[in-house]
Amino acid sequence: MTGRLARTPGDPQHTTGTADTTGSTGDGSGPRAGRRTARPAPDAFDRRLIAPMILGSVLNPINSSMIAVALVPIGTAFGTPPARTVWLVSALYLATAVGQPVVGRLVDMYGPRRLYLVGTALVGVAGLLGALAPTLGALIGARVLLGLGTSAAYPAAMQLTRREAERTGQDSPTGVLTALAVANQTVAVVGPALGGLLIAGGGWRAVFTVNIPLSAACLVLGALRLPRERRTAHPRGDLDLPGMVLFAGTLVSLMLFLMAPRADHWYLPLLAAATGAAFAVRELRAQQPFVDLRVLGGNVPLLATYVRQLLGYTTSYAFMYGYTQWLEEGRGLSASTAGLVLLPLSAAALTVSVLTGRREAVRAKLVVGAAVQVAACAVLLLVGSGSPVWLLLAAGVVMGVPQGLIGLANQNALFRQADPARIASVAGLLRTFMYLGALGASAATAGFFPHRADTAGLHGLALFMIAGSVLLLASAPADRSLAQLAPRKTRKA
């Protein structure tokens, strides 16, 4: 399936791009019909949508990355080792890996606005709970709620982008997709520095409190700018609740085992296999499946994109969590200083994304990104407790290059490969594979740092990261379908 844009008869009818955002009835008879917001140009993306789309979509990466510099202070506050505080990382990704495709399917069915507003409201509640949490368990619960709350914005943004592409006739609005990718990548790598500054100013609880104003801003922007949906009746059978439950059971069982792969957890992979088989049977028989396995199974290029997302982000997050903890414990830097050391990574990722964003060049970006990722992991084999600061900074600069290429390439590939009618749920699955990579990275970090983040553990983690990067490097040239994703002429977004 090539993902060419065409309106699907079964799609709900929406008012995207021409919606009345001032509260009129939509037929010109409302009391405020004369004060409608001007309609966007027919061949240009509605730029009123960009601010809520970007702000909402960065809620997850900012919470994912800020926690990296907070793990050590939180462990000290509660007297817990890294093997337990890593649950603060895993809990968010466990919730989000399940929540993204589930909420994405709801976005496909009911539209982005209401799911966006509910999700971003949950983020504010989670921030308040985290700021007041008396125990590590309560803090983990707040992270679960954060994961669920941040599951709505990215699928909603991809749905809005798809609709705007249809309305404007653009085959691929690379400018908007680049803005989303750049914002997410930048926030992900700025997060540790921001987290360090928040901790220095207000303690580790500040990394939770910051979600309250972010949530409020999303709610205001979403309420004012996101188009209202025409209410469309959906039969109860359209919502595949059994499929969603089986999907969640499969994913949770698998990820719980990956987070603690021990012999006494033998039952978890068996449970994952059993629920996975039941999920496959259910989805193949359902008239309106949660995940259309027939379509997905026949879309091999999309499956390859998911695998590359998994490989790329396993290394990316292993670097973020492992290297950051080592900077604090192995190199002896403070949380705020460790965050500042990672700033060049952010600058490199942002520069690369901006310079290359308008050119899709999916295969070239994947090959170059994977090759540089191998080099960045190799640099970690050279660092030690007495390494000069310039070498620590250089490691971040080199790792910033693949972070500016790989995620953007996979997002552009998915936009072309996905069924337009299911773009939100398919985009949610892309995020799920990213979070699977993050969970694999957190499990690897806990495995190589069982007691503290020492240099020997960092070198072992670096070899693990090199192996995954080599697999990613080998996958791109072998995928002939990437050559068919050459950009077509499009109007500028």
Query: Which pLDDT band, with edges at 50, 70 and 90, does 431 fall under?
Result: confident
Q: What are phi and psi of 30, to 5 degrees?
A: -70, 160
Report how far residue 346's alpha carbon sits from residue 65's, in angstroms, rounded to the nearest whole number.
12
Q: Which residue has the higher pLDDT, 123 or 66?
A: 123
Per-residue pLDDT, averaged over 411-415, amounts to 85
In 59-136 the beta strands, taken as DSSP E runs, fall at none
Report how far residue 286's alpha carbon sits from residue 208's, in angstroms, rounded to the nearest whole number.
41
Per-residue pLDDT, averaged over 240-261, amounts to 84
**Look-up of token digits 């001032």:** 22
- For 198-243, how does the pLDDT look when each residue is reduced to its tens digit (9 = 90+)? 998 889 999 999 999 999 999 999 999 898 877 665 555 567 889 8
Report how far residue 160's alpha carbon sits from residue 65's, in angstroms, rounded to the nearest whole number.
26
Query: Which pLDDT band, with edges at 50, 70 and 90, does 171 fall under?
Result: low
- Res 173 pLDDT > 80: no
pLDDT of residue 101: 86
Q: Which residue has the higher pLDDT, 253 or 438?
A: 253
For the CA atoms of 334, 325, 60, 313, the dihedral, rounded to the nearest 10 degrees, stands at: 140
User: What DSSP string describes 103-116?
Assistant: HHHHHHHH-HHHHH
- Res 464 pLDDT > 80: yes
To the nearest whole percent, how much of the chain has pLDDT over 70? Answer: 86
Q: Which residue has the higher pLDDT, 286 or 212?
A: 212
Among 116-120, 173-177, 458-462, name the one with the lowest average pLDDT.
173-177
Per-residue pLDDT, averaged over 122-145, amounts to 94
The model's pTM: 0.71
Give the chain's mean pLDDT.
Answer: 81
- Give the contacts of 17 (CB within 8 A, at least 6 positions apart): 39, 40, 46, 163, 164, 167, 227
pLDDT of residue 272: 93
Tell me if 23 sits within 8 A of 32, measured CB to CB: yes
Strand partners, 14: 229
Query: Which pLDDT band, with edges at 50, 70 and 90, does 252 fall under?
Result: confident
- For 320-333, how does the pLDDT look when each residue is reduced to its tens digit (9 = 90+)? 888 988 998 888 88
Q: What are phi and psi of 384, to 5 degrees?
A: -150, -175
pLDDT of residue 491: 40
Neighbours of 435 (CB within 10 A): 30
Query: Which pLDDT band, with edges at 50, 70 and 90, does 6 fall under?
Result: very low
Q: Which residue has the higher pLDDT, 61 or 484?
A: 61
Tell me if 315 sits within 8 A of 445, measured CB to CB: no
- Res 4 pLDDT > 80: no
Q: Where are the alpha helices (DSSP H) in 361-422?
A: 362-380, 389-403, 406-417
Q: Which residue has the higher pLDDT, 466 or 421?
A: 466
User: What DSSP string describes 153-193?
Assistant: HHHHHHHHHHHHHHHHT-S--HHHHHHHHHHHHHHHHHHHH
Q: Which residue has the higher pLDDT, 159 or 358?
A: 159
Which range in 172-181, 286-295, 353-362, 407-416 is most confidently predicted, on average pLDDT? 407-416
pLDDT of residue 40: 66
Q: Which residue has the higher pLDDT, 94 or 492?
A: 94
Tell me if 338 sits within 8 A of 440, measured CB to CB: no
Can you say whether the dihedral through the CA atoms of 429, 435, 440, 441 is positive or negative? positive
Report which residue type is found at 300.
Answer: V
To the nearest whole percent, how much of the chain has pLDDT over 90? Answer: 29
Report how far residue 462's alpha carbon sits from residue 457's, in angstroms, rounded to the nearest whole number.
9
How far is CA 145 from each of CA 122, 196, 265, 316, rounded to the nearest angstrom?
7, 23, 26, 24
Q: What are phi and psi of 372, to 5 degrees?
A: -70, -30
Q: What are phi and psi of 14, to 5 degrees?
A: -130, 175
Q: Which residue has the higher pLDDT, 424 or 146?
A: 146
Among 42-46, 240-244, 284-288, name the one with the lowest average pLDDT.
42-46
- Res 13 pLDDT > 50: no
Report how far residue 38's alpha carbon sits from residue 22's, in angstroms, rounded to the nearest whole number.
11
pLDDT of residue 39: 61
pLDDT of residue 317: 84
Tokens of 464: 């693990």
- For 47-98, how does the pLDDT look when each residue is reduced to its tens digit (9 = 90+)? 888 889 999 988 988 898 888 788 889 988 998 887 788 788 888 878 888 8
Q: How many residues does the chain have?
A: 493
Among 174-178, 355-359, 384-388, name the one with the lowest average pLDDT.
174-178
- Give the contacts of 126 (CB within 8 A, at least 6 positions apart): 142, 143, 145, 146, 149, 208, 211
